[in-house]
Structure 1
Amino acid sequence: MTTARTLAVPAPSPEAAKAYFGAELGFEVDPDDLVRDLETGRTEGYVVVETRAEEAFAQARIPGAINLPYRDLTPESTAHLDRDLVYVCYCESTNCNAATKGAFKLAELGFTVKRLSGGITSWIAAGYPVEGTVTPGIRCAC
């Protein structure tokens, strides 16, 4: 009898799974959790950050988000940011890594970060509110 491909690599122990998935949840937030917080006004302690270029931010953004293009993140450009906050970075989708690059640069600069799963594309697909003029073809623009 052959082993199912799904089980070709054994599943980790519950302890290892807890550590792994707990760490993963520490790095990411999903759109549903974020929209629920925004809709109920629970916005203390974090800032939502669009890490793509300014033209992408102008096209469509999560309400209340600020634009910090990852290419422009330097000690000087971030000097005004509150280091006590968590910066939740997002970009276009899972096909774009501007959020990862932005989170990486912010972390290098000493900021606490998370990444929004799925980016603005998933946000829009879920029907969540958007500021700007959403046009077809949201693109990476990073």
Structure 2
Amino acid sequence: MSITETITETETAIDTDAAVRHFRAKLAFETDASDVYADQQSGAEFVLVDTRSQAAWDQGHAVGAVHLPTRQIEAEVPGRYPAGTRFVVYCWSPGCNGGDKAALALSLLGYEVRLMIGGFEYWAREGYPVGTALGTVRRDVDELVGPRAAGWSSSVSCDC
């Protein structure tokens, strides 16, 4: 069977039960910047972890995050965080799998963890507060990732 025939067969044989399982599992282990920010604002209990290098952290990070590079997770997390602590991790961007590596490391230690898809890039591009050495800054929402509002850049939701 050719690749074209395989693709065509796959496209016409959608298993909706498999799709439900897939998307349910995906949403159990992933979140996005909008939901993380909303959870922060509502007081939800979780630790937001920036898994990048010190230089990347210093350049800018999600306000409310802790800096914990992936290579330090195994040694530091069990002594700092009790069992049952919930984590959300991120790295640079959708083009980086550093957050996945950190999520795996936390999972191997027995912690509940979700990956913030889009990473720091989308946190910043969506206009959420960014911590820097100079203080907290907010960038305008990039119109390619979210609607712009008059005034405060994060006041309009994509409503998804």
Q: TM-score range by the shorter chain?
A: 0.7 to 0.9
CA contact (8 A) 1:83 1:112 kept: no
Instruction: Using the TM superposition, give the Cα deviation of residue 84 of structure 1 relative to its aligned residue in structure 2, in angstroms.
Output: 1.2
Query: What residue ranges of structure 2 are gaps of 5+ in the alignment?
Result: 138-160
Structure 2 CA distance for aligned equivalents of residues 64 and 83 of structure 1: 21
Matched residue, 1:126: 126
| Deviation sequence 1:67-117 (CA, Å, 0-9, x none) | 11001222x312211221211000000111111111111111121111001
The secondary structure found in structure 1 opposite 2:130 is coil
* Greater strand content: 2
> What amino acid does structure 1 have at the position aligned with 2:21?
A
Instruction: Using the TM superposition, give the Cα deviation of residue 5 of structure 1 relative to its aligned residue in structure 2, in angstroms.
Output: 9.6
Matched residue, 1:70: 70
The secondary structure found in structure 1 opposite 2:88 is strand
Matched residue, 2:17: 15
> What amino acid does structure 1 have at the position aligned with 2:32?
D
Matched residue, 2:110: 110
> What amino acid does structure 2 have at the position aligned with 1:24?
K
Structure 2 CA distance for aligned equivalents of residues 7 and 85 of structure 1: 45
Give the TM-score normalised by the residue count of structure 1: 0.80
The secondary structure found in structure 2 opposite 1:128 is coil
Greater Cα radius of gyration, structure 1 or 2: 2
Matched residue, 2:152: none
Structure 2 CA distance for aligned equivalents of residues 8 and 94 of structure 1: 30
* Greater helix content: 2
Give the TM-score normalised by the residue count of structure 2: 0.72
Query: What residue ranges of structure 1 are gaps of 5+ in the alignment?
Result: 135-142
| Identity level (%) | 34
> What amino acid does structure 2 have at the position aligned with 1:110?
G
Structure 1 CA distance for aligned equivalents of residues 5 and 125 of structure 2: 34
Q: How does 1:1-142 map to 2 (within 5 A)?
A: 7-10=8-11, 11-38=13-40, 40-44=41-45, 46-74=46-74, 76-78=75-77, 79-133=79-133
